[in-house]
């Protein structure tokens, strides 16, 4: 019986405690930069699309919500013809970001994506692509890939040496 009364007292004291609830729309909590929210496609520092349409993200995605079509421009640079993420299925697991070799696909600290129509949750490339490099400011995949591609020959990249001419006699 006494313990009941103690219990009531403890509960009553909670009347004047600080509330735990964050009154959301008026008050917002800080989301760390690595928060896994809305997905974007970033560009490299030169302003070109980073995505090389390697399909790694779409194959790692546990709910198969990424669809893309690979294409190649005249300089040999690969890019996605379309890139579609269905956010009504995406579980924001971040696997795509981990799999991406070019740091193109990134998750951002934004979760306010509610829509009245389900179709509006399907984001196309225009919706996903941003104008900056996102979380990896200096990174340019083609500059470190060692590949000859539009405007950049082998050996022109960062930390690259000109290729050895294996047919020549000179050391």
Partner 1 sequence: MILKHVLIVIGVLGGAMSASAGLVWLERRLLAVWQDRYGPNRVGPFGLLQVAADGIKMFFKEDWVPPFADKPVFILAPVLAMVTALLSFAVLPFAPGIVVADLNIGLLYFLAVVALGVFGIALGGWSSNNKYALIGAVRGVAQMLSYEVFMGLSLMGVVLIAGTFNLSEIVMAQKHMWNVVPQFPGFVLFTIAGFAETHRTPFDLPEAESELVAGYHTEYSGMKFGLFFVGEYLGVTMTSAMIVILFFGGWMGPFFPPIVWFLGKTFVFICFFILVRAALPRPRYDQLMGYAWKVLLPLSLLNLLVTGAFVVGGYI
Chain centroid, CA 29 distance in Å: 21
Q: Tell the residue number behind the tokens 């994506």, with chain if given.
A: 113
Choose which of 40, 100, 128, 129 interacts with ligand SF4 (CB under 6 A).
Answer: 100
Q: Tell the residue number behind the tokens 């020549």, with chain if given.
A: 168
Q: Could you say which of ligand SF4, partner 1, none residue 56 binds, taking C-beta under 5 to 8 angstroms by partner kind?
A: ligand SF4
Q: Tell the residue number behind the tokens 């893309």, with chain if given.
A: 68
Q: How far is the CB of 37 from partner 1 (least distance, A)?
A: 24
Please state, in angstroms and rounded to a whole number, the distance separating the CA atoms of residues 108 and 112: 11
Please state, in angstroms and rounded to a whole number, the distance separating the CA atoms of residues 14 and 98: 44
Please state, in angstroms and rounded to a whole number, the distance separating the CA atoms of residues 157 and 145: 8
Q: Does 48 bind ligand SF4 (CB under 6 A)?
A: no
Q: Does 91 bind ligand SF4 (CB under 6 A)?
A: yes
Q: What pairing do the DSSP bridges indicate for beta strands 105-107 and 66-72?
A: unpaired
Please state, in angstroms and rounded to a whole number, the distance separating the CA atoms of residues 106 and 84: 14
Q: How far is the CB of 8 from partner 1 (least distance, A)?
A: 5
Binding mask of the shown chain, residues 111 to 150, with x at each position contacting ligand SF4 by CB under 6 A: ----------------------------------------
Q: Which stretch binds partner 1 (CB under 8 A): 6-14, 75-83, 99-107, 160-168?
A: 6-14
Residues in contact with ligand SF4 by the rule CB under 6 A:
51-57, 60-63, 65-66, 68, 85, 90-96, 99-100, 102, 104-105
- Residues found near partner 1 in the complex (CB under 8 A): 4, 7-8, 10-12, 14-15, 17-21, 23
């Amino acid at each position: 019986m006494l313990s009941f009364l103690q219990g009531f007292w403890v509960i009553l004291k909670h009347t004047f405690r600080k509330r735990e609830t964050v009154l959301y729309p008026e008050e917002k909590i800080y989301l760390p930069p690595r928060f896994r929210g809305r997905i974007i496609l970033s560009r490299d520092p030169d302003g070109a699309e980073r995505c090389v349409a390697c399909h790694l993200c779409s194959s790692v995605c546990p709910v198969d919500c990424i669809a893309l079509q690979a294409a190649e421009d005249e300089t040999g640079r690969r890019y996605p013809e379309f890139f579609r993420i269905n956010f009504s299925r995406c579980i924001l697991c971040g696997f795509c970001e981990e799999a991406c070799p070019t740091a193109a696909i990134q998750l951002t600290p934004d979760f306010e994506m509610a829509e009245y129509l389900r179709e509006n949750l399907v984001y196309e490339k225009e919706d996903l692509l941003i104008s900056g490099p996102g979380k990896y400011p200096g990174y340019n995949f083609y500059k470190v890939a060692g590949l000859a591609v539009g405007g950049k020959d082998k050996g022109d990249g960062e930390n690259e040496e000109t290729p050895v001419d294996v047919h020549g006699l000179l050391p």
